[in-house]
Structures are given as structure tokens and as C-alpha cells.
Amino acid sequence: MTEKTASKTGGVQVLRRAVRLLKALSEAPAEGARLADLAAAAELDRATAHRLLATLCEEGLAEREADNRRYAIGLDFFALAAAASNRFDVAEVAHESLQRAAAELGDSVYFAVRSGDDYLCLDVVTGSYPVQTLPLDIGSRRPLGAGAIGVALLAPMGDAEWQAVLARNAARLDASAGQDPDSLAAAIAAARSDGYAQQADRSLPAIRMAAVVLLNRRGRPLSAIAAAGIADRFPPDRLPEIGAVLAREARRIEEAMWRLPDAARHRARWATAP
């Protein structure tokens, strides 16, 4: 290997490590995360994680809370995210559907998009029921397989594909009860049969969620619309009603996106997902 090639390879490795840290930061709670936890999540030793976090802080992509020694996403990261969100016209189209669903159901409704082996929450509309739950914040990232949204996005995939995704996400899913392969396989089968996925994350026993996937023209899973609330709001006999409302709005969003001119649809990356 030449010196130039080695330098290029090293640069790519550093970049990938920094990206893993940014993803770990995006999954951290609002109060931030400790160095040790971020290093473990990004599969880095503490010295490397500390060095990269220092650089990310210098660039404004991360922030260090001096009083508790925790790290959080920096304001400059949100500026970049805002620029990227301009490409996702689908989020703007989806907002009206979220408003209709939240008004009809009375519960909070979420819109999330697939991002590789993860999904990102892009929008939330709260309902009118006096007790609301917020299991996801706008901008939060979770692995595919986690929760009802993670199951809904896996359900349209072939068995070999979703099994491969779960294998790659295994370490992250192990942190949540009920995310074992057998439980997730059963949840995916139920989602295919029912037309909607249910909350599969037993680490949140007081919260229930139902989700419906949105597909592109090729039948690929791109995003999902979901409703969440306290357990009493999601009894078995009400789930079909919730699923029907979500499915109706999911189809409306799909149809609205498919009617866009090709240039606009491609700018939204609606037709170009894997």
C-alpha cells in the first residue's frame, strides 16, 4: 500500500467513525450522553471517541455540557439537517395527513422516514386526548426493528432482507426488551396480516403504538405514519380502527407524492430509495 493510499484509507476510516458518533449522539436523550456510552454505541475506544468528539465540538456539530460532562448534538448540526430537509417534500405533504389523523383519533401521530438501517422522526402532531405520550422526538433516530415504526418498515421486505437488517442492528436492538429475533419475526408476520404494525418495544410498557408503512412505486418501504398513546387508548378492539385511519392517510400521502412531476419527486428522493 502506498503512502497516498494509506492516507486516503485512514481518512475514510476517521470519517466513518465520526459519522457513527453523530448517529450515536442523535439517539442520545435530551440531557446528552456520557463519553463512555457514546464510545460503546459507536464501537470506539474512549480515547478515539474523545478525540473525535472534541473535533465535532470545534465544528459546532456537537456540544459538551461542562456541568455534567455529557455530549449532545450541536446547533450547527440542526442547520445542516434543515438544509437536508428541504429535499424531503414528502414531510410537507404528510403534515396535513398527520393533522387529520390526530384530530380523528385524539392521539399523537408521527411521521418517520427510513435512513439506511435506521428511521428518523420528521414530524409529530399531538392529539386532543388529555393524556399524551411522546415516545419519539422530531429528529430522533432509532434502528429498524425498534418499535411499531421499525417493524412496519421491515414488513414489506423479503425475509432474507429484513433478517439481514436485524443482524446488522442486533447489538442496538438487544438493549430493548422484546427485540429478539423471534419476537420481531412474529411482529413482522402480524403486520403483514393486519396491515399495520404494533408496538414491539416492551421497554415502554405504558405506551402503545401502531404504524403503517408507505411505499414508493416499486413497493419499497420509505416511510411510516404512526399513532401512539397510553395503553388504555390502544385496546385490541380499537387497533383495527386506528390501523384503518393510518392506512387511509398513508395512501393519501403516497398518491400525493406519485402525482408530483418527476423532477420534484426525485428532489424529494421519494423514487430513489433503495
Q: What is the mean pLDDT of residues 100-127?
A: 91
19 or 3, greater pLDDT: 19
What's the structural domain count of the chain?
A: 2
Is position 181 within any domain? yes
pTM for the model: 0.66
pLDDT at site 217: 73
Residue range(s) defining the domain that contains residue 108:
86-267
Where does a domain end: 25, 57, 77? 77
Where does a domain end: 30, 52, 77? 77
* 8 A C-beta contact, residue 154 and residue 162: yes
Is position 161 within any domain? yes
23 or 227, greater pLDDT: 227
pLDDT at site 255: 83
Same domain, 128 and 33: no
pLDDT at site 264: 45
CATH number at residue 13: 1.10.10.10
Quick count: other Cβ atoms within 10 Å of Cβ 151?
A: 30
**Does residue 109 have a pLDDT over 70?**
yes
Q: What is the 3-state secondary structure (H, E, C) of 16-47?
A: HHHHHHHHHHHCCCCCCEEHHHHHHHCCCCHH
Name 212's bridge partners: 225
Going by pLDDT thresholds of 50, 70 and 90, the confidence category of residue 273 is very low
* 8 A C-beta contact, residue 57 and residue 64: yes
**Does residue 234 have a pLDDT over 50?**
yes
CATH number at residue 99: 3.30.450.40
pLDDT at site 145: 92
Same domain, 98 and 177: yes
**Does residue 102 have a pLDDT over 80?**
yes
Three-state DSSP class for residue 211:
strand
Q: Is 69 left (phi over 0), alpha (psi -120 to 50) or beta?
A: left
Is position 187 within any domain? yes
Instruction: Please state which of the ranges 17-21, 74-78, 164-168, 201-205 shows the lowest mean pLDDT.
Output: 201-205
Buried b (16+ CB within 10 A) or exposed e, 64-77: beeeeebbbbbeeb
